[in-house]
Amino acid sequence: MITVLSYLEKLNNIPVLQEEFHSQAAFHSEEDWRYFLYTKLEELRKALKAEPVLDILCWNVSGKQALSELEQTRKKYMEAFLLLIADSSISPMEYLRPSILPTALLLSPFDRLQCSQVLGELISSYCSQFKNKEDEDTFLIETREGRQRVPLSQISFVEARDKKIYICTRSESFGFYETIDHMSELLPAHFLRCHRSFIVNMEKVKKLNLSEGMIELDNGETVPLSRSYRKAVRAYGST
């Protein structure tokens, strides 16, 4: 699954962009794609508050507050590919900065051919990276339905349930067949086993409740902490 989020306030030719996105995605990839489109800032902020897993951002920076909102979004989604759309009303010096770091640039107004060329290069490049397993910043899930990349920074915990493993982020969970023991070996050192059925991302831990055997996460969720793993979890938290 490849997820695209677009913020296109004040963009006139949205249908052309959508059609070319679907066309180029089908040409370059056999993966399933999902698309989220927003044209109002308040709706965008509500969606981003849930911290969905996003692979590609498409952003028109010509609208009011669009550039500052993008800069804030990039702090959490710097690993996502970014198609930036701009017109002559904004100087390139405003968006060609390390804090924005666009992957591709589409100048508005644009025609279908220009849109097709830019999107073709962007999606081809992303799909090449998507197939690469050697990415230290993401966990690649492979199932019969396709592939799903999950940034390690967005994983809250991992749970073994109903003979499957579920990687859980703030708002989503991704299930696949694997063992919790093998997951402990695959994930980096800050992912600690805290229960026979749970691995927790220690960078997401807000509080240890030892008396109740629970770990409180920064999103308000809790995961169990069993006695056999308490020492290792406490030792990590004190470093």
Q: Are residues 126 and 164 part of one domain?
A: no
Residue 233 belongs to some domain of the structure: yes
Q: Are residues 163 and 48 part of one domain?
A: no
**DSSP string of 192-215, one letter each residue:** EEEETTEEEEGGGEEEEETTTTEE
Which pLDDT band, with edges at 50, 70 and 90, does 222 fall under? very high
Whole-angstrom distance, CA of residue 191 vs CA of residue 175: 18
Which pLDDT band, with edges at 50, 70 and 90, does 210 fall under? confident
**pLDDT score of 62:** 87
Mean pLDDT of all residues in 198-227? 92
Q: Are residues 158 and 126 part of one domain?
A: no
Q: Are residues 77 and 6 part of one domain?
A: yes
Residue 198 · residue 166 · CB < 8 Å: no
Domain coverage including residue 30: 2-130
Residue 201 · residue 189 · CB < 8 Å: no
Higher pLDDT, 144 or 148: 148
Q: Are residues 170 and 116 part of one domain?
A: no
What is the CATH classification number for the domain harbouring 97? Answer: 3.40.50.2300
Q: Are residues 110 and 39 part of one domain?
A: yes
Q: Are residues 22 and 118 part of one domain?
A: yes
What is the CATH classification number for the domain harbouring 193? Answer: 2.40.50.1020
Q: Are residues 90 and 15 part of one domain?
A: yes
- The model's pLDDT over 115-138, given as tens digits with 9 standing for 90+, comes to 999 999 999 999 888 776 567 788
pLDDT at 239 over 70: no
* Predicted structure pTM score: 0.82
N- to C-terminal Cα separation, the chain = 37
**43-57, 104-118, 223-237: the lowest-pLDDT one:** 223-237
**pLDDT score of 122:** 96
Q: Are residues 165 and 108 part of one domain?
A: no
Whole-angstrom distance, CA of residue 140 vs CA of residue 30: 16
Q: Are residues 208 and 102 part of one domain?
A: no
Amino acid present at 186 = L
